[in-house]
Structure formats: C-alpha cells, structure tokens
Chains A and B, each alone.
Chain A
Amino acid sequence: MSDVMNIEDYIAQGGVLTNPANTPPRYRGELLRLMATFIDSELAGSAGFADTINDAPGLKERIAAARIVLEKTDHPERVLNLMGTFGADTARYAVHHPWAARVDRNADIGATRQGTDMRLSVFHYPLQGWIDAVVMNVLMGRAVGIQLEEFSRVSYAPLAEVFREIAPREARHTELGLEGLIRIISTAEGRDRAKQSIAFWQPRVAASFGQERSARFELLKRFGLRHRANEALFAAWTADVDALLSTLNLQ
C-alpha cells in the first residue's frame, strides 16, 4: 500500500472528499449540478407552498404550513452556502429565478427541466388550495425521504452531512402533511377531493425519479454521487405510497 493514490481511483473505491480543492473537474461539475437541483427544487417548493399558509383551515395547520415554508427555505440555504465554497455567488443565485412561477396546471412537461431552472419538473405545477397542497406534500414528501436517504451517502462529505441533518426535518414535514390528510379525509367531501388530487400528483411525483437506465447514472455512480438506480428508488416509493394509500383507503 503506497501513500499516493489517484483521486479518481480513491473515489471509485468509495473514498470521501472533504473540500473543494480535492474535487476533480468533472466531479465538481456533477456535484454542483446535484446541489443546484436540490436548491432549486426546495426554493420552488417553499415558494409554491407559501400561498398555502393563507388557505389553512385552522391555526394548527397554519403553523404547520408556515414551518414547512420556513424550513424548506433554510435547507437550500445550507446547500447554497456549500456551493459558495466552490465560488458560486450565493446572493445572486438565491434570487436568479422567480421561484414562485408555475406552468399551467394542465401543461404536459413530463420530466423535462424548464429553461435553466433546475427544479424537478413536479415543482413547476401550481397547487390548488389546501387539500391539493397537503396531498402534494405527502406524496412528494415520501419521495424526498427516499431521495434524501440516497443523497445522504454522497461522496462529498460536507454535502452528505447537510442532507443527514435535514432529513429528519423533511420527514417531519411529511408527517405534518399526513396528519393534515387524515383530518381532511374524515369527511366524504374531503376524501373525494383528496382522491382527485392524488390522481393529479401521483404520476407527476413519479416522473421526478427520472428515467430508467439513465446514462448519467453510471458516471454519478463512479463518482459516488449516486448509489441506487432511479428504478430502485422509484420502486421503493411506489411500494411505500401504495401501502400508505391502501391504509388510508384512498386507492
């Protein structure tokens, strides 16, 4: 065993990188792209959810919605600060997109990114009122849980740590959503409307898992930035959501 080792071999063998100076150029590019996707998605998510605060049917729900908006702004800030250590202008980045902008509810954008906005496509669709927002939060929250578990293993240690810190708080957002959903479906009307929203959001959240056998996945895997394939994450989410909806009798 020698003391000298090629940094790319080190990463391929599961090595962990710890500061921007360690990162080879292509790794750096993919790492920043991953950070941008998270930042844009969370900022767009919290901007979209902000209007929902005023739709909340009670104080408890209003507090829950406000907390979600607050924390989904704090989480991307932590990742943006890391992006700043690579040279990014964080102040400009934070305002370079209109995060609250949405496409038409009936637009069909599939899984494609819109322009230079790196948010997952699901965050381009507008929420329609309280019930719709709660349903979206639960379905997407379960997906975020699976994705954060995956991202908590990325080979860039400072980013993995941020994801590990925020994962329990994101999980709490989903729990708050679930508590809200259970209250909503206690009436027949609420149950009907929740089902309509599930029909709208379920395929759109599904699309956020990306394509099967994506070519970029192999590169990301070699870099230790991904471990499980999109299909595996999607299958985990599908099983989880099917079980949940079945328990709630919402299928």
Chain B
Amino acid sequence: MARFYSLEVADVRRETRDAVVLTLNPRDGDDAHFDFTQGQYLTFRRAFDGIELRRSYSICTGKDEGVLRVGIKRVEGGAFSTWANEDLKLGDVLDAMPPMGSFHTPIEPNAEKHYLGFAAGSGITPLLSIIKTVLAREPKSRFTLVYANRQVSSIMFREELEDLKDLYLNRFSLIHILGSETQEIDLFTGRIDAEKCAALFRTWIELTAVDTAFICGPEPMMLAIAASLREHGLSDKQIKFELFASAQPGRAKARAVSAAAAASGADCEATVTLDGATRTFRMPKQGESLLDASLANNMDAPYACKAGVCSTCRAKVLEGETEMVTNHALEDYEVRQGYVLTCQCYPMTDRIVVSFDR
C-alpha cells in the first residue's frame, strides 16, 4: 500500500485570482520517493472537521527544474482547494503519496516527434510539465498546445507559456481558446467541441504529422476531443488522457457508531444493494461472510482474493454494525466512513444495510 510522506510548503505563488502554485520540499531522505515522471500527480490528504479528504493535483514542473510544484485551482465548494487557496502558507506541511499516473510517453532524446496537447483550465498543470520536459529532452521534437479558458485573467501559467514560446521559437506553438472573450480570429473564441476541433485540424494543426495527443480537462471536453481525434485518424494508442473530473467525490460523513448496537440473536437480517437492486435475506452472524451470503442469495457481487487483500469486494455499511476479520486493503479513513471488505465482514447487529453501489 502506498505511504504518505511529509512535504514542506516552500513557496505559495498566486497564479490567478483563484489558483495558487505550491513549491514543495520533501524531507531529507525522502527525495527519491518524489522523483516524478512528467505529467504525474500527487495525492494529498487532510482532515476537515475530523473527516479525511484526499485530492490529487498534477505536478506542473519539468524534469529539469529541480523542484516539485503543483497548481491548485479553487473549485466552487471544494474544501481542499479552497483551503489551499485561502489558508495554506509558507512552512506548512502537507501529507502526500509518491507521484502516480501514466499521462506521459517515454522520452527519446533523438526523437523527432510532433506532440499535440489540449488543456482546459487547471488541466494545463500536467501538460506544462510534459511540454517543458519534452522540449528540453527531445531537442528535435515539437509541441502544439491548444489551451481553453473562460477569459484572459483566468489563464494559468500565461507568462510561463509565453516564455516557453520565446525559448523554443520554432518548436512550441500555443493556441489560446477563450470562452467569453472575443479574439481577432473567430476560431479561437468559444468552446472546444467537435466543430472547433474539425476547424483546427483543417486549418491550423496538421494531424497526420502528430505522433501523440495529450488531453487534460473535464468530461465533455475529453469526449469531444477524443472523438474528433479518432475521427481524424488517430489510434487509441496515440491518445493519452488525464481526466480532471468535474465532480470530486464528496465529503463522506463518518458513520455514526450507535451505542445501542447491542445484539441478541444469532441471525441477522441483511439488506444488500447491488447495481440498483436491493435484496433482503437472513444470514448467520458467524460462519458465513457477508460476501458469501450475498453470493448464496444470487447476487453477482464482485470479489477476487477472498483474503482481505485485493479490495475488489469493497462495499459500504449504511446501517448496523459489522466487524472485519482481516483487512489488508482498506485504510482507516475508509473504514471510518463505513467501507468494509465484504469477504472479511460479519454482522454484529440483528440488522445491517449494505451497498456495493456507494
């Protein structure tokens, strides 16, 4: 299981009105854990009102900059991003897992490739890391970036991107698409949809010369661009995705532990939901796991190892009390929210309500 390490906030730079860029220093001896690949992300954890939240933010520095930075854009109603934008300060310590993610292609110093990137809003963060690394380490490769924002003032890393254009005059081209501000060229105003893609591929971007396309943004943009790229002849293998989901999983409430969980009978009435269908059956409190009882009642519940190791059979206890015999896969914060490994789970109360759908 991945571990968390402490990172000290060495700098907080306000990038736009609602985005900050954090410079993070690993503790002595932890440097190797944060040796990232361009385009990867860090997962942070922090407790808000006693409830742990985890959020992933992409690294925005290139491999040759020698620092670790992430960009965090404030999301409306987002506890972590609001805190990072408003309260986080120099010297604070954040808990983060080592870099993860496969939003990258291998660097080949002699390659002469043409990369195409699409970013919307904070989706620029992993792309910036990729662009800087690729242009520095593949001196013959080119990069074209299509970058969508609402307006000029909300463009993250605007200056840094301009500097990159100057530094790599003939190898880096940048197209800004602005949602609500008119530009000289109509094509560069509005949203990136199928029509816009088709027009870009007709006039500005020669798709037949593109080796790999990177897309990072919210769901509708990912769908529109991927469909258009495929329609214009790119294969799945040539398209790399990093989804910045529009809805982050909410702040699950910690499950209230009922004091009156006193159990009497040897049986339990279990109500289990799977794929929207709910079934109620009786099962013994001992001798048969919740997973086995569900399977015995013709529910096609997912499982693999049945040893508390893989977490395939995870479900959430909504009512009642249960206990897990073994748990090698769920973390404390998940257990506090009511998640159980059903293969290791036995009821303790006379009634339990469990869902595989939540």
Contacts and interface: CB of A to CB of B under 8 A. Distances in A.
Interface in A75-95: 83-89, 92-93
B227 A7 contact: no
B2 interface: yes
A21 B193 contact: no
B102 A93 contact: no
Contacts of A219: 275
Interface stretch (A25-33, A43-51, A183-191): A25-33
Given A16-B222, A87-B1, A7 B356 contact: no
B191 interface: yes
B227 to A, nearest CB: 7
Nearest to B327: A89
A76 to B, nearest CB: 13
A89 B219 contact: no
Contacts of B246: 3-5
Contacts of A40: 304
B237 interface: yes
Interface string B205-234: 000000000000011111110110000000
A26 B357 contact: yes
B245 interface: yes
Contact of B236 (A88, A93, A153): A153
B313 to A, nearest CB: 7
A177 B328 CA distance: 39
B328 to A, nearest CB: 4
Given A18-B242, A19-B56, A25-B356, A7 B219 contact: yes
Contacts of B302: 26, 29-30, 32-33
Interface residues of A, number: 51
A33 B219 contact: no
A74 to B, nearest CB: 17
Contacts of B240: 157
A114 to B, nearest CB: 12
Nearest to A30: B302
B10 interface: no
Contact of A10 (B191, B219, B356): B219
Interface stretch (A60-68, A98-106, A158-166, A203-211): A158-166
Contacts of B236: 152-153, 160, 164
B356 A84 contact: no
A18 B275 contact: no
A18 B302 CA distance: 21
A129 B101 CA distance: 42
A126 interface: no
Contact of B224 (A1, A19, A152, A160): A1
Interface of B: 1-2, 41, 43, 54-56, 100-103, 191, 193, 218-224, 226-227, 236-237, 240-243, 245-249, 274-275, 300-307, 309-316, 328-331, 334, 356-358
Q: Nearest 4 A-B pairs (CB), nearest first?
A: A36-B304, A29-B302, A116-B306, A89-B328
7 contacts: A5-B218, A29-B302, A87-B334, A89-B328, A89-B329, A116-B304, A158-B101
Interface of A: 1-7, 10, 13-19, 21-22, 25-26, 28-30, 32-33, 35-37, 40, 83-89, 92-93, 96, 115-116, 118, 152-153, 157-158, 160-161, 164, 215-216, 219
